[in-house]
Amino acid sequence: MTAKRVVKSLKEIRKYELLNTRVCDLPHKIEGTLRDCILAHYRELDARKIRFRPRFYLGADIEDGWGCVDGTICIEVPFYLGNPELTALHREYYAEVEGEEEIMKILRHETGHAVNYAYRLHEREDWRGIFGDFSKRYPKRYRTKPWSKKHVQHLDLVYAQRHPDDDWAESFAVWLTPGINWRRRYKGWDAIEKLIYVDIIMKQIGGTAPTARRVAYDAPARKERRTLAEMYDVEPVAALSEEEMEDYIKDLGQIFMRRVRRRDYHVPAADFLGRYREAIVSGVARWIMHSNKNSVRKIIRRLKSVCRHYGLVMIRSEGVVKLAEVTALVTWYVINDIYDLD
């Protein structure tokens, strides 16, 4: 066996060791890029003379692993960003991982939530006059206006429109971001009033101790007893119900075919889905409101596993047609999940 094959075999062994490890048994120390980003974020707070520091912890959610626990100073960060080995494994199954720029944006946003709770800003009459009623329920669906100048644009064009708490957090994040001249960037926007408020209020309270320091953890990784294989649905076919399996194979059977004998012009359907996964994910997530890339990827992983399980194939020359058909099928599954059309 060559040295290259030995290295590859050792990597595969380590990969399967990880996949069979329970999340609670993994190291729960923040290292690597995530640690560097948190330290850089602390320097941003120092530069603004903000005394408060949120409490970061590793959470077990791989679909939406970021968030400030409601009413607390605790911010959940994805466990797979905890060290480079887990990050590499996550990238293998999800194709992409948050980079430094995205991590910094999210840290600023979530710290905005934590500041709001730590200083009880949402209870202030002037805060409510600027951002709205904090007690308003978070909507499952909400109408957005990408062209609106009443809200800042940080995580995306419309995130601040979701709820008054997010409106504050996005405004705080823009104000905190180094190198942004927010007065010039938002000149003439109604949103400038919110940024001016953030600037005034943070200069007042930044050097003071928080009035509330409630601590609580939502789904911490140290309590998650599932293995990484279970978390990533490495073998999702085994987890599907008989009814789900029938639905998947019925739909996929209209696009692909079962291979009776090997032909040079046949392409495994699972390989085809893997090759075009990110193109499908980007297109579907972009145009369907309330969807996200992770939920679309999960559907494609299931379709891919069913294709592999049943040995489905396609004719190589029909790639364009099959890509259109698969994209339409994935779109249907995503819409059905969101709106429960069945």
Domain ranges of the chain: 3-222, 235-339
Contact by Cβ (8 Å): 137, 122: no
pLDDT in tens, the chain (342 residues): 454 444 456 677 788 888 889 999 998 899 999 999 999 999 999 999 999 999 999 999 887 789 999 999 999 999 999 999 999 988 877 767 889 999 999 999 999 999 999 999 999 999 999 999 999 888 766 677 888 899 999 988 788 999 999 999 999 999 999 999 999 999 999 999 999 999 999 999 999 999 998 999 999 999 999 899 888 766 545 556 778 888 889 999 999 998 766 566 788 898 899 889 888 988 898 888 767 777 788 888 889 888 878 889 999 899 999 999 999 999 999 888 877 666
Q: What is the pLDDT of residue 292?
A: 76
Report the C-alpha gap between 11 and 116 in whole angstroms: 45
pTM > 0.75 = no
Q: What is the pLDDT of residue 341?
A: 62
- Indicate left, alpha or beta for 85 from its phi (over 0: left) and psi (-120 to 50: alpha): alpha
Instruction: For residue 189, give both structure tokens.
Output: 């926007």
Dihedral sign of CA atoms 248, 252, 258, 262 in order: negative
Largest CA distance in the chain: 75
Residue in the block written with tokens 């941003």 = 44
Q: Report H helices in 260-317.
A: 269-275, 277-287, 293-310
Q: Architecture of 3-222 per CATH?
A: 3-Layer(aba) Sandwich (3.40)
Q: What is the DSSP letter of 226?
A: S
The H or E element containing residue 82 is: none
Residue 22 amino acid letter = R
Q: What is the pLDDT of residue 127?
A: 98
Q: What is the DSSP letter of 22?
A: B
Q: What is the pLDDT of residue 1?
A: 47
β-pairing verdict for 67-68 and 74-78? antiparallel
